[in-house]
Amino acid sequence: MTEDVFAPPIGEWYHPSEELLKAAHVQDYDEVYRRSMEDVEAFWAERAESLLEWYEKWDQVLDASQAPFYKWFVGGKINIVHNALDRHTKTWRRNKLAIIWEGEDGDKRTMSYWRLWQEVNKFANVLKSMGVRRGDRVTIYMGRIPEIIVAMLACAKIGAVHSVVYGGFSEQALATRIEDAQSRVLVTADGSWLRGKIVPLKDVVDEAIHRSPVVDTVIVVKRTGQNVNMVQGRDYWYHDLMALPIASRQCPTEVMDAEDPLFILYTSGTTGKPKGVLHTHGGYQVQVSATLQWCFDLKEEDRYWCAADPGWITGHSYIVYGPLILGATSILYEGAPNFPYPDRWWRIVEEYGVTILYTAPTAIRGLMRFGEAWPNRRDLSTLRLLGSVGEPINPEAWRWYYTAIGKERCPIIDTWWQTETGAFMIAPMPSVSLKPGSATRPFPGIKVDVVREDGTSCATGEDGDLVIQAPWPSMLRTVYGDPQRYVDQYWTKYAKFGWYLAGDTARKDEDGYIWVIGRNDDVIKVSGYRLGTAEVESGLVSHPSVAEAAVIGVPDEVRGNVIYAYCILRNGYAPSLALADQLKAHIRHEVGPIAVPEKIEFVDVLPKTRSGKIMRRVLKARAMGLPEGDTSTLEE
Ligand code: PRX
């Protein structure tokens, strides 16, 4: 099932300016790509060596002996925090701003590399004093405040594995993720500001721990200051702990194996249980820093702003780790793009002199609705490059981003990648000419294609499966606690060829540019957020009134897709608008606001195959008023 359908414009090219090209890290993409393909391992080894410091060099770049359980930089010793912080504190960069933070309520804070390093050391010591050891999982559930970055880095520093759960998820989603990771320690905040209201993070934590009682220690950052319930002997204030003598400013960085786990990040898949995508210390940082440097052409003097949330992979790789490894100054903003007015983002660009802005098409479409007057009131002349991620960017939004925001000066770097890939896979750099709506060509060292079911390469313009044809350094290593799921999900369909299945439908054009159309599995992208149909469906059936549920994604002008839900009620319940509202509130509470269906329809039957599988394709066709296609497998 294809989530998004749009017709690529033909013949619309955007070429980089001479000025940008002359100063770019890479002058000739084609040549660099060609050379990388001659010896992929040598290409990555060179990047690993020139971008990073290793405690000990690797013996082997790639070990494919247990494919698809690939290992990278085998025998290498490293810690991502050494490269993201420690090394900078020994140079002039100790004085450079690492983070510029703005709260939605107007609070402001900055942190130099020196200051951030000290905070991380202190918090790492706090975690140790709470019994956190190498390999232990720590769940982090916070808003966009600097402490989320401190907490992630503190875990990595001592070799613990962080599992960040996006602050927009609710009770059940958090409980499931705590349970799966078996985290004893959880770091959170009393709340976070969003659209002028407090997101009650701590209340959600209390309820989630009630459901998953594995957590015995909760550390709470005071952000909003409202009263929260603190459980004696379990809950501690962050600022109290950071003031204790145990919170020393000195903390040795654990020497990790390149393949040691760094974090787990849960993402939606085809079953109700989210997948714990596991990334490691070595290969991950190589590809994250290499892609950020080349594709966004990041320079020492940049002021870089990735407006995603640290709780998603975009934030992990391109707010936290990538920019810090490259010693960049980056912006973190807590709240909504249009609060209190639709120019909030543009005011931030103006105030801090942002040079690179990275966001999602849904945000652009949302801001586009308010018109050009808002950005026009602000000085956006510092911008030199714009990024996009999360879903295909429709040409209309692309052109608005390009003209209204970038003033036709800034290339739009459309980056295709996934939680699983860890870093950009298909994305241009300044020496690649652009076509609105295409992420263009693969990064050097990355081999991709669009193929038919039998593995043959699709012809120009023909839809097929997007596959990655060789392992890459920042690839996920497994699904946490479920290696079989890792194999089944990603490596089985094209096992004969050893290719990774991305789960996206794509097509190539006559110039070899890749156009990603959308997901072809049971994943729905709502406002760029990834949701599994099964996660929403199990949320619905957890309500006493619902016997069975099916959800689908339906195209939406701003959000990309919205969710339509179809529910069969249990005996004794009658369809009503009030019940539909109750169900929406239930989903908001159980899964999170992003999962709330746009529409709930009560039905007597659901279209199923004879083997009992729900035919979402048929539901979708009906919802969109399209032909139902082949229904020969439909149950009587
Ligand atoms: O469908 C693709 C879409 O987002 C999916 C990955 O979602 P997630 O793991 O949440 O990661 C999002 C941030 C990296 C992909 O399978 N996607 C992501 N970027 C693009 C995209 N679709 C088209 N163009 C993109 N640039």
Q: Is the pLDDT of residue 460 over 80?
A: yes
Q: Is the pLDDT of residue 286 over 90?
A: yes
Which pLDDT band, with edges at 50, 70 and 90, does 3 fall under? very low
pLDDT in tens, 31-81: 999 999 999 999 999 999 999 999 999 999 999 999 999 999 999 999 999
Task: Specify the pLDDT at position 636.
Answer: 57
> Ligand 1, residues 263, 295, 450, 525: which to mutate, most atoms within 8 A of Cβ?
525
pLDDT in tens, 71-119: 999 999 999 999 999 999 999 999 999 999 999 999 999 999 999 999 9
503: Cβ–Cβ under 8 A, 6 or more apart, which residues? 418, 519, 520, 521, 523
Give me the chain's average pLDDT, please.
Answer: 95
Which pLDDT band, with edges at 50, 70 and 90, does 319 fall under? very high
Task: Specify the pLDDT at position 11.
Answer: 61
Which pLDDT band, with edges at 50, 70 and 90, does 12 fall under? confident
Residue carrying the six token digits 């249980």: 273
Q: Can you tell me the mean pLDDT for 494-514?
A: 96
Q: Can you tell me the mean pLDDT for 565-571?
A: 96
Task: Specify the pLDDT at position 6.
Answer: 43
Q: Can you tell me the mean pLDDT for 435-460?
A: 97
Distance CA 460, CA 572 (A): 55
Q: Whose CA is nearest to atom 18 of ligand 1?
A: 390
* Phi (first) and psi of residue 386, to 5 degrees: -125, 145
CA of 519 to the centre of ligand 1 (A): 9
Question: From the CB of 316, is ligand 1 less than 6 Å away?
Answer: no
* Phi (first) and psi of residue 212, to 5 degrees: -125, 85
pLDDT in tens, 17-34: 899 999 999 999 999 999
Produce one character per residue of 306-333: b if its CB has 16 or more CB atoms within 10 Å, e if not. bbbbbbbbbbbbbbbbbbbbbbbbbbbb
CA of 59 to the centre of ligand 1 (A): 34
Which pLDDT band, with edges at 50, 70 and 90, does 130 fall under? very high
Q: Can you tell me the mean pLDDT for 333-337?
A: 97
The dihedral sign for the CA sequence 622, 628, 633, 636: positive
Which pLDDT band, with edges at 50, 70 and 90, does 613 fall under? confident
Distance CA 42, CA 55 (A): 20
DSSP state of 612: S
Q: Is the pLDDT of residue 9 over 70?
A: no
As a 3-state breakdown, the chain gives helix, strand, coil percent values, each rounded to 5, of: 30, 25, 45
What global pTM score does this model have?
Answer: 0.95
pLDDT in tens, 516-532: 999 988 899 999 899 98
Ligand 1 atom nearest to 519, measured from its CA: 1
Distance CA 383, CA 301 (A): 12
- Measure Cα distances from 445 to 278, 398, 431, 473 in Å: 21, 27, 17, 9
- Bin 572: left if φ > 0, else alpha if -120 < ψ < 50, else beta: left
Which pLDDT band, with edges at 50, 70 and 90, does 284 fall under? very high
Q: Can you tell me the mean pLDDT for 282-297?
A: 98
